[in-house]
Amino acid sequence: MNPLAWEAIAVLTMAVLAWLRTVSSGLVTVMDVLWSLGFVIIATARIVALGGTDTVGWVVYAAVIIWALRLSVHLHLRTRDRGEDPRYVRMREGWGDRWWWGSFVQVFLLQTVIMLAVAAPLRPLLDASTRDALPQAVPMMAVAGLLCAVGLLIEAVSDEQLRRFRANAGAGQLLTTGLFALVRHPNHLGEAMVWWGFGLAALAMGGWGVWPVLFGPLLLNLLLRWVSGVRMSEVDLEVRPGFAAWVASTPAMLPWPRPRR
């Protein structure tokens, strides 16, 4: 069977089981918890389908696991304490009695398709038979590793800063200090950096011919900035004191200076 088919079957199985779990829990936020773990399942399915990988592949696999476990544990703890994500509450109100079926398409199936697309850089990195390393592969891999490491650090630090702020400040307050003084959504910036790092590593090891895999991090970047990340998150922040000034002075994801008003 084609390795991509193995990936699709494995991650779709995860999504269906998670969807069935919502019958008893009622919380579709479980799919957010499983989002990062889906990439571990995709990578595992590809390695199994290929019959193994090489040193580069195992290093990448380990990096995916580290990123995924940290994010999954963080989201699990947040969901346990906060309950359903407000974005899904609004969706459920719109779907009404059809939400159980609608959630499968709008949340579980859609995220499965997005996972398979975003995971594109992992395929040439895990498949040792496609190696066509560029002459500048070593420095490119070093930059890629740095991108992934810094992105993971930014994501972890910003998540922890937000967790502590919520625990101390209570509901209805806006975090505008720390990393959140540089960009409004540093956790999204960190995640995008991790996947651009995988994209650069894929180019380094697979050659310029694999450039279409950059569609994966590009898609994730666009979704985080314009669809499910910044835009949907800020719907719930708009009513908080200081939001307008924060938006005017602080970029959404890329940290460039803005003139003070």
Burial of 66 (0-12, 13-18, 19+ CB in 10 A): middle
Per-residue H/E/C for 50-113 = HCCCCHHHHHHHHHHHHHHHHHHHHHHHHHHHHCCCHHHHHHHHHHHHHHHHHHHHHHHHHHHH
Mean pLDDT of 247-251: 90
Of the pLDDT bands very low, low, confident and very high (cuts 50, 70, 90), residue 261 is very low
Q: Hunting for tokens 């009513």 — which residue is that?
A: 239
Mean pLDDT of 170-182: 87
Mean pLDDT of 133-151: 96
Q: Which two tokens stand for residue 179?
A: 């990393």
pTM equals: 0.91
Of all residues in the chain, the percent with pLDDT exceeding 70 is: 96
Mean pLDDT of 69-93: 82
Mean pLDDT of 125-142: 94
Instruction: Compute the distance between CA of residue 66 and CA of residue 58 in angstroms, rounded to an integer.
Output: 12
> Is pLDDT at 115 greater than 60 in this prediction?
yes
Tens of pLDDT, residue by residue over 14-50, are 999 999 888 767 778 888 899 999 999 999 999 999 9
> Comparing 68-77, 90-99, 160-169, 212-221, which segment has the lowest mean pLDDT?
90-99
Predicted pLDDT of residue 238: 84
Predicted pLDDT of residue 237: 85
Predicted pLDDT of residue 258: 56
Predicted pLDDT of residue 90: 78
Mean pLDDT of 65-74: 96
- Mean pLDDT of the chain, nearest integer: 90
Predicted pLDDT of residue 240: 87
Domain segments of the chain as ranges: 1-130, 132-254
Predicted pLDDT of residue 147: 97
Predicted pLDDT of residue 93: 79
